[in-house]
Amino acid sequence: MSNKHVVITGPTSGIGLSAARELAGRGAQLTLLCRNPDKANALAEGIVADGGHAPDQVPMDMSRLDSVRAAGAAVLELGRPVDVLLNNAGLINTRRVETEDGFEETLAVNHFAPFLLTGLLLPAILDAAPGARIVNVASDAHSFVKGMDFDDMQAQQRYKTFPVYGRSKLANILFTRSLAARLQGRGVTVNCLHPGAVSTNIGKQNGGLTADVIHWLLKPFFRNADKGAETSVYLCTSDEVANISGAYFQDCKRIPAKPWAEDDAAAQRLWEYTEECVGFRYPE
């Protein structure tokens, strides 16, 4: 990974932080896309103190499409090919929250934002081909649902925490399949992963008893963030997956996703819906 340019979202906590440190330790030049500048500065200082390249820092609020667009433009202005894009950031809400753009926040942050960011950065990713990689952090939470529920995509009729989160993670896998097919033969691989149940701060932004109870119930099953980041790092770096695209991984191994995550008709419908919502069309 020496001098490879890696763009990563959500790098200041949890598995994103572990992945960022590991990739920097392997010689990668990181661009950190994050909302909190103080945390970004602390991470950058730590990377330099450990002997890594000083990362670039780009502010981005993934709940706002204008912020994602500005971040994408800022990365392109760096003038460097993007060897790896690691779409890591995500959230889970215990209640329905609507973004400034009028979308349900879980879907907006977990799916709309990486869809738009990836599309905006695609010229720089293609400049790094052959060998460029896009890695999407999905989740086994896609097993919480049996499909995208296109009749209530914005959870306006019913909001339940785990199904809404699971649907956003299903969207990550369907997006991976669609994009891999579109980029076939162009020197870019697209894969996604389940990091395992990881003890991070996801969901803590909600506060209150419900968030604390969720973490208390799940804590016995959590692995640490370094362990959770292993598959992300593997997909970003390993020669073993250099020619694999459109696949789903867990514990550094390719595994089958649920059948509804391999539904190409649903993937196409989701793609068209997302393009309409975010106001961006991928180049042919």
Known catalytic residues? 165
Nearest to 65 by CA among 282, 284, 275: 275
Residue carrying structure tokens 């399949």: 177
Interatomic CA distance for residues 150 and 246, integer angstroms:
23
Beta bridge partners of 161: none
